[in-house]
Amino acid sequence: MNGIHDMGGMTCFGPVKPEENEPVFHAEWEKRMFAMTMLGMGQLDTLDGFRHAVERMDPAHYLSSTYYEHWLAALETLALEKGLLTPEELATGTATETGKEAEGPLPPEAVSAVVHAGAPTNRETGRLTPRFKAGNRVQARNLNPTGHTRLPRYVRGKNGVIAQVHGTFVYPDTNAHGKGEQPQPLYSVCFDAHELWGPDVSGADSLYIDLWEDYLDPA
């Protein structure tokens, strides 16, 4: 989706403003929102589906709200869409029925193991033989899907070089939409700054981005 989240290359947002001695969280509600998402989101959707729920926020609201409000909006969206909550329940705060409790909540003592194990997205299944190898010249396809994608606008149609083959990884464009993981090769692709931004930027600079095989053509 060509949404407001796809902001690479825009220059209208002013200077970066680092905060001195920034705390991990700025408010109690941010803590709760962070933890709810970490523990609840996986029971509703994939991480790709969650990212897409953030991307579907009203664009003006996306820009005017802070990070954990994005998470709140996305988690509410998914809870409604997946049928966990009704609009009435969200409005009143009163649950009309308990959940199915198929798994039940994770106990506190299990948190450390979950955090340290992580959730790898490389796969031994799917498309295992890469079409490209390091050094191959490629062109990012000019694709404008209406759903989730990790192919940002600023590289579409641009020529680059395969820097590294990462292996076979879950494909977000299908995984975000309940169409399965459909794993395929993922590459680190290097683009010259001049190719992306024209002649006025430093020719010494370059941009590396991770792109799935279906985002690329031979150049």
Partner 1 sequence: MGNEHSHGSSAHSAPPNPYLEKHTTPEQTEALEKRVRTLESLLIKKGLVSAETLDKMVETYENDIGPLNGAKVVARAWVDPAYKERLLKDATPAIAELGFSGLQGEHMVVVENTPSVHNLVVCTLCSCYPWPVLGLPPAWFKEAAYRSRSVVDPRGVLHDFGLTLDESVAIKVWDSSAEIRYMVLPERPAGTEGMSEEELVALVTRDAMLGVTKAESRVA
Footprint of partner 1 on 57-116 (CB under 8 A) = 60, 63-67, 69, 72, 75-76, 79, 84-85, 89-90, 93, 95, 98-101, 103-112, 114-116
| Opening angle at CA 179, ends 175 and 184, nearest 5 | 55
Of 112 and 146, nearer to partner 1 (C-beta) is 112
Cβ neighbours for 145, distance < 8 A, ≥ 6 positions apart: 1, 173
Q: How far apart are CA 105 and CA 21, in angstroms?
A: 34
Contacts of partner 1 in 178-197 (CB under 8 A): 186, 188, 196-197
Q: Which range of residues in 32-40, 123-131, 132-140, 176-184 is near partner 1 by CB under 8 A? A: 32-40
Contacts of partner 1 in 110-169 (CB under 8 A): 110-112, 114-122, 150-152, 154, 166, 169
Helix axes 47-55, 67-81, angle to 10 degrees: 110
Q: CB of 30 within 8 A of CB of 68? A: yes
Q: How far is the CB of 137 from partner 1 (least distance, A)?
A: 18
Q: How far apart are CA 214 and CA 130, in angstroms?
A: 11
- Candidate list 53, 78, 162, 209; residue touching partner 1; CB under 8 A: 209
Q: How far is the CB of 218 from partner 1 (least distance, A)?
A: 20
- φ and ψ of 193, to 5 deg: -60, -40
